[in-house]
Structure 1
Amino acid sequence: RPRYLSWDDYFMSVAFLSAQRSKDPNKQVGACIVGKDKLILGVGYNGFPRGCPDNALPWSKKSANDDPLETKYAYVCHAEMNAIMNKNSASVAGGSLFVTMYPCNECAKLVIQAGIKEVVYYEGK
């Protein structure tokens, strides 16, 4: 078949599919970690920590009282972090991360510490 998805398009599609699991009303981000052998090692999306009900913490971007604890930023785990934490038993070192938006500084540090060697992000936003 002459027309089929490239590996990069396939893994980015998995990241976008993972983003659809996010309950964040403002931004849905997904991530997919792939090993050197083109096997998926972990996926993640932005959301509250495991075990926290989605309605127990605020999804707001701003607080009426300027209290940062009344916004989502103190609680939400980013897609990149969740993909690293939700990985299967294989090491992600040397792998690639496909993510639906450019990683923040904190996630970039996690990616480096995990040994991920390549980051592919979607530019269209």
Structure 2
Amino acid sequence: MTQQDFTLPDHQAELLEGFPADPHKRQNSSHVGNNTNPKHFTRWDERYVKLAGHIASWSKDTAQVGCVIVNPTLRRVVAFSFNGFPANIPDHVSLLQQRENKKKKLAQIIHAEQNTLLYAGREARGCHAYVVGRPVCNSCAILLIQAGIERVVAAPPLPIPEKPDDEWVERGRLALTLFNKAGVGFSPIAQKLLDEVFEDYNLDRPTAVESAPVCC
């Protein structure tokens, strides 16, 4: 080969001088693109919501919750998990589904979001979190924000007519307030999609008898 064979066109030769990162190009390659409407879901959003529903079905708790953390630029699942007892603690159905001493049981549960963040580690920064089963509570919101999650996709904490002062609904609303203050995006999952996921994976639905529709 001659030296001429290695000559680069001017526009390629300029690249050798270096160039800055372009967040707009990276955003365009993500599964959400440059969309700014929080209620607009792409097919990838729906896929990850359904995947979170599938993961939730692995939980033996009465409130089944699944979480999937996704890198939006690479369209890659970073980590996923569900709620339950910590590792090495027997997860007998009889213990997870007891209703007599629910407060004591809840005090021993690791939430799906917490579990998934532990698996994701530093890779969670800049990612999107998809949560299915219950809305996100304020405790999980704090961890999601601190881990650098950029956007959360979950059910909104809607009021329960039978329990207007429900504690967990208030904690869910506080979570949204925290997301908003921290600049973390929130995309509410449409009820139609939620119904489809709950039916497909036979998930336990939140009821007024429960201590609220919230993540566990």
In 2, distance between residues paired with 1:93 and 1:62? 39
Residues 1:109 and 2:142 are matched in the alignment: yes
User: Equivalences for 1:29-108 in 2 at 5 Å?
Assistant: 29-36=65-72, 37-55=74-92, 58-59=95-96, 60-63=98-101, 68=103, 71-87=104-120, 91-100=123-132, 101-108=134-141
Partner of 2:201: none
* Alpha-carbon shift at residue 91 of structure 1 (Å): 1.1
Normalised by the length of structure 1, the TM-score is 0.80
In 2, distance between residues paired with 1:79 and 1:42? 11
CA separation of 1:74 and 1:6: change in aligned 2, threshold 3 A: same
Aligned to 2:81, the other structure's residue is in SS state: strand
In 2, distance between residues paired with 1:50 and 1:14? 22
* One-letter code aligned to 1:115: G
* One-letter code aligned to 1:91: E
Partner of 2:55: 18
Higher relative contact order (CA 8 A, sep 6+): 1
CA separation of 1:111 and 1:90: change in aligned 2, threshold 3 A: closer
CA RMSD of aligned residues (A): 2.3
* Alpha-carbon shift at residue 51 of structure 1 (Å): 1.2
Contact 2:60/2:93 (8 A) holds in 1: no
Normalised by the length of structure 2, the TM-score is 0.48
Aligned to 1:11, the other structure's residue is in SS state: helix
**Bigger Rg, which one:** 2
Q: Which runs of 5+ in 1 are unaligned?
A: none
Contact 1:35/1:95 (8 A) holds in 2: yes
The Cα offsets for residues 34-63 of structure 1, whole Å up to 9 and x where unpaired, read as: 012210001010100011111399433443
